[in-house]
Amino acid sequence: MSQTVLRVSHANKTFRTFERKTTALNGVSFSVNAGETVALLGASGSGKSTLIRAICGLEVLDESSGNIHIGDEEIQASGKLSPNIRHIRSSVGVIFQQFNLVNQLDVITNVLVGLGSKKNIFQLLSRRFSSEEKALALDALEKVGMVDYAYQRASTLSGGQQQRVAIARALVKGSKLLLADEPVASLDPESARKVMELMVNLTKQFGLTLITSLHQVHIAKKCCDRTIALNKG
């Protein structure tokens, strides 16, 4: 029997600002099995980012509404985050379109930040990492084809290379579930396809589960097992 990694039930999210009320998520329910690669498709403003942020606990759903579980653990329910959220979040790798990497730091340190939940900011900045940790990071960089860039500053990399490093960081973190919000949006079509293929291949190779938002339908169809379309939440 296949194992459910993610369960979203009746997710509603309303944003209220002075000017307007926006329904970003409107009764969204779905589940994802271990090892699946799922693309979230939808026009700009359809609620993709809100959904991804809710799954990793960066956005709290409406009070009256549903719940989100990762594995057996509750991320949030009835408008409240689980008290255990930090621990659960450490098992989820999140890859965003940009601002993934610290530009001033070299590639290997950016990957080592994946181990960061166990360290404080001073340890990270003073690069206090054991040789085992460094070996782990180099191993992950090897897997994404970026080991030759380990000691280069992140700011000198292309968009596609930066995404590879972001994937390496998620691997080092030991994440079982990868969430990616438009990870290839800023890349040219050829690099976008390559980076998405790499992400899906690594996901399969390491038995991970991937949920990624995309706006290129052809890439979603070509690379992912399943697509979920959002329309006005």
User: Which positions touch ligand ADP (CB under 6 A)?
Assistant: 15, 17, 22, 24, 42, 44-50
Tell me the window of 44-52, 58-66, 70-78, 170-178 that interacts with Mg ion (CB under 5 A).
44-52
Residue whose CB is less far from Mg ion, 24 or 224: 24
Any residues with CB less than 8 A from the CB of 35 and at least 6 apart, and which?
Answer: 2, 204, 207, 208, 209
Q: Torsions phi, psi of 203, nearest 5?
A: -55, -45
> Angle, to 10 degrees, between the axis of helix 159-172 and the axis of helix 189-205?
10
Region of 176 (left: φ > 0; alpha: ψ -120 to 50; beta: rest) is alpha
CB of 15 to Mg ion, least distance (A): 13
CA gap 92, 200 in Å, rounded: 16
Q: Select the residue whose beta carbon is closest to Mg ion and give its number.
A: 49
The residue to which tokens 């949030």 are assigned: 76
Q: Binding marks (x or -) toward Mg ion, 148..187, rule CB under 5 A?
A: ----------------------------------------
Q: How far apart are CA 42 and CA 28, in angstroms?
A: 13
Bridge partners of 81, per DSSP, are 76
- The binder of 82, among Mg ion, ligand ADP, none, by C-beta within 5 to 8 A per type, is none
Can residue 49 be called a binding residue for Mg ion (CB under 5 A)? Answer: yes
Task: Name the residue nearer to ligand ADP (CB basis): 19 or 132.
Answer: 19
Which CB sits closer to ligand ADP, 17 or 64? 17
**Complex with Mg ion: residue 205 or 231, whichever CB lies closer:** 231
- Rounded distance between C-alpha atoms, residue 224 and residue 214, angstroms: 11
Helix (H, G, I), strand (E, B) or coil at 180: strand
Nearer to Mg ion, 128 or 232 (CB): 232
For β-strands 73-77 and 67-70, DSSP reports them as antiparallel
Q: Applying CB under 5 A, which part among 46-54, 72-80, 86-94, 202-210 lies near Mg ion?
A: 46-54
Q: Which helix (H) or strand (E) holds 166?
A: helix 159-172
82 binds Mg ion (CB under 5 A): no
CB of 45 to ligand ADP, least distance (A): 4
Closer to ligand ADP by CB, 24 or 141: give it.
Answer: 24
Does position 216 bind Mg ion by CB under 5 A?
Answer: no
Contacting residues toward Mg ion, per CB under 5 A = 48-49
